[in-house]
Chain A
Amino acid sequence: MRVSMDIELKDTPGQLLCALTPISELRGNLKSIVHHHEERTPRGTIPVQLVFEAEPDNLDAIIDKLKKNGIGISRVDEKRLIEEGAVILIGHIVHTDIQDTIDSIDRTGYAEVVDISLSMPHINTTSSASLKICAVGIKELHEAISILKNVAKKKDLLVVEPIRAEFS
């Protein structure tokens, strides 16, 4: 998951290292760091904004270590599902148990169907739907789409997925 965090550093040497070491030790992947050295909080500390990716299970341990290192944490925002992709389904989508189709993604624990638009022009003609799927990472998004393709095959639905370039 992607974590964005506002922290506060004392204006003494080595503070930034104290803030970043716990993240790297717990296999977090730093995405961006904005260090406002010329600014001061009312407490006289330097505000720093971090964005990193980390395993959800490791976040509490990262926060504990930061606190032990004397780093102030003023805000933590987690975004678990950071990758989004659209797919189109064509076929008898509703009558082949749409709930089960959606559940096949939601059950994974790493991806969810977050939006669905359905078009059913006439009774007895095929329906079309666009699904938006969110996942914890790009690999998981691919896996979710391939699960959907397997389910769709059994239900005789056509899955129209994005070209590869969309995912790189």
Chain B
Amino acid sequence: MKIIRASIIGFGSVGQGVAQVLLQKKEEIQKKGFDLKVVAVADSRSAAIDEKGLDLEKVLKSKKENGRVGPETLSGLEVIRNVEHEVVIETTPTDIETGGVGLDNMLTAFEKGMDVVTSNKGPLALKYGELAETARKNNAKFRFEATVGGAMPAINLIRDTIAGNSIISIEGVLNGTCNYILTRMMEEHASYEQMLAESQELGIAETDPTYDVEGIDAACKLVILANYVFGMKATYHDVDVKGITSITPEALSLAQSEGYVIKQIGEVKDGCIQTSPRLVPESHPLAVGGTLNVVSVQTDLAGTVTSTGRGAGSIETASAILSDIISIYRED
């Protein structure tokens, strides 16, 4: 059986989710005609390397017990440069100011002809063109389903399932935190501040929620869709962004009495990218509740195709990463 050697660069919640999923799905992967061997794992201060294949259970245990993945002190970038393997699973945290270490990791991997599967939005929201071009030049594969809406199929839906269709526009709910807060504000007739506090308590919102509630996270996802689907050369600075912080419970009630809910909607159409609170008819497919994400694609042949699913969570995001890996190497 074909053996694919992989590294996991970044071992926070998503990286650990990937390790768990790879352990759990070993047989499923083999049924697709290949064996995936993780030869290196790196987090921000340590690394574990074994060319014969790491015991991921041990790595997970070590991370949990002493905060390190292993004894080595190589950085992710050094692992990519020095350890022989075919695919880099890049799960370092998103940095939308500079692209962070993820940008260097991906570019270096491509230059070495390695494939990259990632959940890291930052590099794509800033430098998608350069990344895609470097991958193409080096004949490397670049997959990033996990960057847009976690487990919800979006990128691969457009690339594979409805291939051949011309895409007219895309709109959707692309941030689970905003969706949770707006849904709960309407249910409880409560203020934004109250429901933000609730979602922070539940771990749905970060301590500093700016990135989610101001629409920046959704903007990054829209940029990735715009660049990939429409070939735009946008960065997240090109997105017209309005967040949810000024939404009132009274506005939600007034909307409801007109048959609408208020959702944070992102939209790419006619070269414009925007995200803002919008009125959505209560029975419309975009009116999903809780932390769900949804994306609706207008096409020339298939009409409107809508996909919904969990937009965050370590296992859900790992699911998207696994499907990307399988789509590259499957032989069934």
Contacts and interface: CB of A to CB of B under 8 A. Distances in A.
Interface of A: 86-88, 90-91, 117, 119, 121, 125-130, 132, 158, 160-166
Contacts, number: 76
Interface in B286-325: 286, 296, 304
20 contacts: A87-B279, A88-B254, A88-B279, A90-B246, A90-B248, A91-B246, A119-B248, A119-B254, A121-B248, A128-B250, A128-B254, A130-B255, A132-B258, A160-B262, A160-B276, A161-B279, A163-B284, A164-B171, A165-B286, A166-B281
A163 B248 contact: no
B253 interface: yes
Q: Which of B276, B277, B279 has the most CB atoms of chain A within a 10 A radius of its CB?
A: B279
A168 to B, nearest CB: 9
Given A160-B279, A163-B286, A164-B171, A130 B254 contact: yes
Counting from the closest, the 8 A-B pairs by CB-CB distance are A119-B250, A128-B251, A128-B250, A130-B254, A162-B279, A86-B258, A128-B248, A160-B277
B242 interface: yes
Interface string B45-78: 0000000000000000000000000000000000
Nearest to A89: B251
Contact of B254 (A126, A129, A158): A129
Contacts of A162: 260, 278-281
Contacts of B251: 88, 90, 119, 128, 160
| Contact-residue bracket for chain B | 20 to 34
Given A88-B251, A162-B280, 11 more contacts: A86-B255, A88-B254, A90-B247, A90-B248, A128-B250, A132-B258, A160-B251, A160-B277, A160-B279, A162-B278, A164-B269
A119 B252 CA distance: 11
B265 A126 contact: no
A127 B269 CA distance: 31
Nearest to A160: B277
Interface string B131-147: 00000000000000000
Contacts of A129: 254
Nearest to A117: B254
B178 to A, nearest CB: 13
A128 B253 CA distance: 10
B82 interface: no
B278 A161 contact: yes
Contacts of B253: 119
Contact of B265 (A88, A132, A163): A163
A128 B186 CA distance: 14
B169 interface: yes
B242 A163 contact: no
A166 B279 contact: yes
A132 B254 CA distance: 11
A121 B251 CA distance: 11
Interface string B167-209: 0010100000000000000000000000000000000000000
B257 interface: yes
Contacts of B258: 86, 130, 132
B58 to A, nearest CB: 49
B217 interface: no
